Amino acid sequence: MKILVTGGAGFIGHYVVEQLLDKGHHVIIVDDLSKKESRQIEGVDFIKADLSKDSTKLFSGVDTCINLASKIGGIGYFHKIPATILSENCKIYSSTFEAAARCKIRRMVFLSSSMVFESAKTFPSKEEDILTCPPPVTGYGFSKLVGEHYCRTFLSEYGLPYTIIRPFNAYGINEYPGEYVGYAHVIPDLIKKIYDRQSPIEILGDGNQTRCFTHVRDVARAIVLATESGAAENQDFNIGTEEETRIIDLARMLWKICGEKGEFQPKFIKGFEHDIRRRVPDSSKARKLLGWAPEIGLEHGLMEVAMFLKNAHQHNRDR
264 domain-assigned: no
Residues 6+ apart with CB under 8 A from 247: 186, 203, 204, 205, 207, 208, 209, 210, 211
Going residue by residue through the chain (319 aa), what tens digit of pLDDT does each one get?
Answer: 999 999 999 999 999 999 999 999 999 999 998 876 667 787 799 999 999 998 999 999 999 999 999 988 777 777 789 999 999 999 999 999 999 999 999 999 999 999 999 999 999 999 999 999 999 999 999 999 999 999 999 999 999 999 999 999 999 999 999 776 666 789 999 999 999 999 899 999 999 999 999 999 999 999 999 999 999 999 999 999 999 999 999 999 999 999 988 899 999 998 877 788 999 999 999 999 999 999 999 999 999 999 999 998 765 655 5
**H-type alpha helices, the chain:** 11-22, 56-59, 75-80, 82-103, 139-158, 186-195, 216-228, 247-257, 284-290, 298-318
* Residue 94, helix vs strand vs coil: helix
Task: Give the pLDDT confidence score for residue 73 in this predicted structure.
Answer: 74
| Count of the separate structural domains present in the chain | 1
316 domain-assigned: no
98 domain-assigned: yes
96 domain-assigned: yes
Q: Which domain holds residue 93?
A: 2-168+216-239
23 domain-assigned: yes
8 domain-assigned: yes
282 domain-assigned: no
Task: Give the pLDDT confidence score for residue 37 in this predicted structure.
Answer: 64
CATH number, domain containing residue 14: 3.40.50.720
Task: Give the pLDDT confidence score for residue 183 in this predicted structure.
Answer: 67
229 domain-assigned: yes
Backbone phi, psi, residue 111, to 5°? -85, 105
